[in-house]
Amino acid sequence: MSLDHVNQAPQRLDQPDPLQGRQWCPAPLAEYGLLGDTRTAALVSAAGSVDWLCVPAFDGEPLFGALLGGPAAGRFLTGPGQPASLVTRRYRKETATLETVWAARDGLLTLTEAMITEVAGQLLPSTILIRRLTAEQSPVRVTVIFDPRLGVRHRRPRVRQGRDLVCDWGPVATSLGSSPRVDLEPGRPLHLVVTPGTPLTFVLAIAYGEPLIHVRPAAAWDLVARDEARWQAWTEGIDHSIPFRDHVVRSLLTLRLLTYSPSGAPVAAPTTSLPEDPGGIRNWDYRYSWPRDASIGVGAFLRVGKMQEALNFLGWLLHASRLDRPRLPALFSLTGGRVPRERQLPDWPGYAGSTPVRTGNLAAAQHQLDGYGWVLDAAWNLVDSGRSLNSETWRAMRGFTDLVAARWQEPDAGIWEIRGEAAQHVHSKIMAWLALDRALRIAATHRLGRRRRARWQTARSDIAAQVRAKGSDPGRNTYVRAYGSDDLDAALLVLPLTGLEQPGSRLLEGTIDAVSSELSAGYPLLYRYPPGRDGLPGSEGAFLPCSFWLVQALAITGKAQEARSLFEALLEVGSPLGLFSEEMDPASGALLGNYPQALTHSALVQAALALRDNPPRSNTIL
């Protein structure tokens, strides 16, 4: 029998809105799940509310923006309409499909939702969100609020009612269909009863500058099953011997969802302005692509055998950097263009009252020397895996290396993008050394002129000598944050990966020990540098990638059991769905900063791989 049969339609209830009169506030970040289609992404709360979704891409205008703008910015709720408690919330195994189960009186209500990643070659809209409510044991009351508000000014749509509900704002249009069919009006709560055996399915199709394609709910549900099969086939090829494989797979899936598939650009996060300091001004737009962060992700994909993801990144980087070479901008738009100028949205209340809400990012204009090292390291990893760089790629890498050889003595903004005067950051110098070292390694199998090789070798030697002389504190036996500074920098935890210091080096081990103790934010957390030492008002949380870098450093330097214990502790501080933000409040355990954060997930994968490749040494005497 068709699900659209009139006798199966959910019962509509005439009752007051249970949310009316309450002061609305976004959920804690850890309660949000990620839905994505590799073009854009949605954040959905444990209450079933989509509070963030930009169109047509990660860095587009918000269609649902309640996360930062409150209810006036729009949301899409499908959840319990009566008192209910959360029972379980999980992703279906090795897929991007999210399931949430609530207990309400004598019944269970399940929300299953997903976005469709593969739409090429089919008559489908580029963005499709499917949400299905299912009751078990007894009927369950539900509330549905579909309230799209486009852009900075929360524009209401023009509405056309038909078999589907159509909303449009000129180039942007949406179609919301349901099965069984229900009558929805944008912004008006709808109260229904879902009965066992009769699921209620919603299909939201989104078009931008193209014809609006309606998708039947039954066909959309079939798309979910096919997408799940594709994800499971993709994850099957991931090494089954990796420690904590389920967490690694979830992080790799998250990284794939945060890759803009039309260009291959990895996005740092799908959000903007989620605060590093609740109530403060440390609210930045991360909906762009940082070559540094992307290169770390490339390393993660390569080491689990995902070559195509690495090739896609290098292809995007060649396109994105074409107008700036040999200079490498700190970040790009998802299509490889200039990042919009940073501006503030004056009437947005922000997440938990944290203002300003920003779009664009001022860091795009900074000189960040370390980025070259990360990119050259990614290229070397590709060569080391057995692939040769084509002539254009090698030409671009040579240009980057020439710039490093010429400019390595200049101060820069550093990996942490300090919004103040440039400095002689030790981490940046080490990464400049890495750029030259990896370029020389690549040159062993690629053509390079003798004079150029000699110039690179000289610069590499000069950097090593200067950083040891000016960038270390012999009394504490550690490298420091910048020349002439006593501060430490947790970014120095990548030192064991570079080869600048040999295994067993006292300076190498001293740096790891000093950072882990002096920058501790309480086990297992680390600050990235001493709090309050960045010229901005307020404070910030512990920086999660740094803790995973410590796991990696410990494993590489022979402290595998200590590394494993730290890794296990870090897994406990993520969200219940295995998602991580950029930072964490050491006092409350609340996730802070943009979420989910690609850099954290890349660091998690790299840490797990270090545990795999550096197992504990056996004490058994044969």
Cα distance between residue 380 and residue 277, in whole Å: 37
Confidence band of 128 (pLDDT split at 50, 70, 90):
very high
Instruction: Specify whether the CB–CB gap between 601 and 254 falls below 8 A.
Output: yes
pLDDT of residue 538: 87
pLDDT of residue 23: 60
Residue 29: partners with Cβ closer than 8 Å, 6 or more residues away: 274, 575, 581, 590, 591, 592, 595
Question: Tens of pLDDT along 4-29?
Answer: 222 344 554 444 444 443 567 899 99
Confidence band of 618 (pLDDT split at 50, 70, 90):
low
Between strands 165-168 and 107-115, the pairing is unpaired
- Cα 411 versus chain centre, distance: 29
Fold of 6-220: Beta-galactosidase; Chain A, domain 5 (2.70.98)
Cα distance between residue 153 and residue 160, in whole Å: 21
**Could you give phi then psi for residue 313, rounded to 5 degrees?**
-65, -45
Instruction: Specify whether the CB–CB gap between 102 and 197 falls below 8 A.
Output: no
Residue 186 three-state SS = coil
Cα distance between residue 430 and residue 499, in whole Å: 10
* The residue to which tokens 């195509």 are assigned: 308
- Kindly report which listed range (27-31, 160-164, 441-445) carries the lowest average pLDDT score: 160-164
Cα distance between residue 533 and residue 466, in whole Å: 24
Q: Note the pTM of the prediction, 2 decimals.
A: 0.95
Cα distance between residue 464 and residue 467, in whole Å: 5
pLDDT of residue 80: 97
Closest CA to 146 of 109, 125, 177: 177
Please name the CATH architecture into which domain 249-613 falls.
Answer: Alpha/alpha barrel (1.50)
**Could you give phi then psi for residue 380, rounded to 5 degrees?**
-65, -40
Residue 48 three-state SS = coil
- Kindly report which listed range (2-6, 46-50, 265-269, 465-469) carries the lowest average pLDDT score: 2-6
Residue 159: pLDDT over 90: yes
Structure tokens at 91: 């992703």
Range 512-537 average pLDDT: 95
- Cα 596 versus chain centre, distance: 4
- The answer to whether the peptide bond before residue 586 is cis (omega within 30 degrees of 0) is no
Range 448-464 average pLDDT: 98
The alpha carbon torsion through 111, 112, 117, 123 (nearest 10 deg) reads: -90
Residue 330: partners with Cβ closer than 8 Å, 6 or more residues away: 290, 291, 292, 363, 364, 366, 367, 368, 371, 413, 417
Confidence band of 262 (pLDDT split at 50, 70, 90):
very high
Rg of the Cα trace of the chain?
Answer: 25
Report percent pLDDT > 90 for the chain: 86
* The residue to which tokens 């409150």 are assigned: 70
Residue 314: pLDDT over 90: no
pLDDT of residue 10: 58
Range 226-248 average pLDDT: 95
Segments in 413-484 forming alpha helices (H): 426-443, 450-470
In the chain, where the domains are located: 6-220, 249-613
pLDDT of residue 121: 65
Instruction: Specify whether the CB–CB gap between 335 and 55 falls below 8 A.
Output: no
Cα distance between residue 424 and residue 155, in whole Å: 47
**Average pLDDT score over the chain:** 93
Structure tokens at 434: 């890495």
Tell me the residue type at 6: V
Question: Tens of pLDDT along 333-374?
Answer: 999 999 999 999 999 999 989 999 999 999 999 999 999 999
Segments in 281-360 forming alpha helices (H): 291-303, 307-320
Instruction: Specify whether the CB–CB gap between 486 and 516 falls below 8 A.
Output: no
